A and B are shown apart, each in its own frame.
Chain A
Amino acid sequence: MDKWIDKKKFLTLIKDRQSIMVGGFLTCGTPETLIDWVVESGKNDLTIICNDAGYPDKGVGKLIANNQVKKLIASHIGTNPYAGKQMSEGVLEVNLIPQGTLIEQMRAYGAGLGGILTPVGVKTSIEEGKQVINLSGRDYLLEEAFGADLALVQAYQSDQLGNLTYAKTARNFNPIIATAANIVIAYVDNKVEKIDPETVITPHTFIKYLVGGKLSG
């Protein structure tokens, strides 16, 4: 099966009301080309799950600036004034989650777990509406696992099948979201003949579609 797709095929995969996980930390490791295509798709009422809101002209911030996002699940929105503005106007629902909890909720989903117990958020507003479980004298919050319809991943290298490596701090959320969505699409900087199995971070079976690979090195 050839996983390598073009823009035309990609656009058929984007639909209104989808939930989409996007890799990146302040846009380092965000697949900008794929975000541009989602902007072009014009699809609306998206739920975006990403570490942060990016910037108005970079990362998932472009989707927020283009009013395509109905709900944002993130740990930080301070770098994108549109996110705060749309939130106070009531057009964007924002669910702020501690970064370590957010990544674990996705990791747990991909690992077949129902949720995690974390001490983070105990005795804060994060605790509201959640089960507190005491183990060996310490309180933990039960945080439920969640997945998404799509994950948009930024990879450094891929072989023909989709074994992936990542670059430096552009790795961040990418290998985790690749385990937690129904359809995982990776934008690849470099398509290569072979990757040493010892250095593969995401095995190819997690990846449904591949885009890019033009830089080839």
Chain B
Amino acid sequence: MDNIKEIIAKRVAKELKDGDLVNLGIGVPALVANYIPKDCEVYLQSENGIIGLGPLANEDEIDLNLTNPSGQYATIKENGAYFDTAFSFMIIRGGHLDLTVLGTLEVDEQGSMASWIIPGKLVPGMGGSMDLVIGAKKVIVATTHTNKGKAKIKKRCALPLTAFGVVDMIVTEMAVIEVKPDGLHLIERHPEVSIEEIVKNTEATLIYDEVKLMEV
């Protein structure tokens, strides 16, 4: 599998609904914007103050006052809007976002996730991630299934939490997993990956019955 990021982003995009207000995290989640279904009008919210975030700016479109949440020069779509950070997080925390898609370091059986710090090693900070996963109506974690062969989907997160019990769905290059009160339900698998292989690469217990094939 050499197009792991594309597989994940394409599958997440299938969760988008017409009219959704969506915040995409940096990295793989941001790629979801490339696969928005044609018949679907989706509005991207950007925590630095935009509804209607467009693609990256071409060289002749660069405006020093218009960036995306990664700090890259970006564009705004027609009918877009700008606002300050307090308003932006009112949207995020206040339940006005239909969906947020974020990457993670770990995610667990309770739908908790850890994504902002590896104590003593890496301390990037949480930015807006804690607000996003608390406030959005639906939270999708988009991540590689493992980190250098080590399971990221765990029984309990070992790293400091971003939030407790907030994740609704986990999309990886191997599987689609739904988080429910009784645990993690494996609902789809990559056609070239067996259930056994997914179980082997997952520390958490997976509940499954009929497992569909991911469209890839």
Contact = CB atoms under 8 A, between A and B. Distances in A.
B89 to A, nearest CB: 3
Contact of B50 (A84, A87, A169): A169
A183 to B, nearest CB: 21
A28 B64 contact: yes
Q: How large is the interface on A (under 10, 10 to 19, 20 to 34, 35 or more residues)?
A: 35 or more
A26 B69 CA distance: 8
Chain A contact residues: helix, strand, loop or mixed:
mixed
A122 interface: yes
A87 B123 contact: yes
Contacts of B214: none
B76 A27 contact: no
A110 B86 CA distance: 12
Given A77-B123, A171-B82, A99 B47 contact: yes
Given A52-B127, A119-B134, A124-B162, A171 B83 contact: yes
A172 B127 contact: no
B93 A118 contact: yes
A187 B123 CA distance: 31
Nearest to B92: A100
Of A28, A74, A94, most buried by chain B (CB within 10 Å of CB) is A28
Contacts of B163: 120, 122-124
A169 B49 contact: yes
B48 interface: yes
Contacts of A124: 130, 160-164
B34 interface: no
A118 B89 CA distance: 11
Contacts of B49: 25, 168-169, 171-172
Interface string A101-120: 10110010000000000111
A98 interface: yes
A208 B84 CA distance: 21
B128 interface: yes
B51 to A, nearest CB: 12
A197 to B, nearest CB: 18
Nearest to A84: B123
B86 to A, nearest CB: 5
Contacts of A52: 125, 127
A142 interface: no
A100 B124 contact: no
Interface in B112-136: 116-117, 120, 123-131, 134-135
B131 to A, nearest CB: 4
A77 B124 contact: yes
Contact of A99 (B65, B70, B85, B123): B85
Nearest to A125: B160
A116 to B, nearest CB: 10
Contacts of A79: 71
Given A103-B89, A175-B84, A29 B131 contact: no
Contacts of A29: 65
Contacts of A126: 130
A158 interface: no
A25 B72 CA distance: 11
B46 interface: yes
A121 interface: yes
A176 interface: yes
Pick the 5 closest A-B CB pairs, nearest first: A78-B124, A26-B71, A100-B89, A100-B131, A123-B164
Interface of A: 25-29, 51-52, 74-79, 84, 87-88, 94, 96, 98-101, 103-104, 107, 118-126, 156, 166-176, 201
Given A78-B125, A87-B123, A96-B126, 11 more contacts: A25-B69, A28-B48, A51-B85, A52-B125, A76-B126, A98-B126, A98-B130, A99-B128, A100-B92, A100-B130, A103-B85
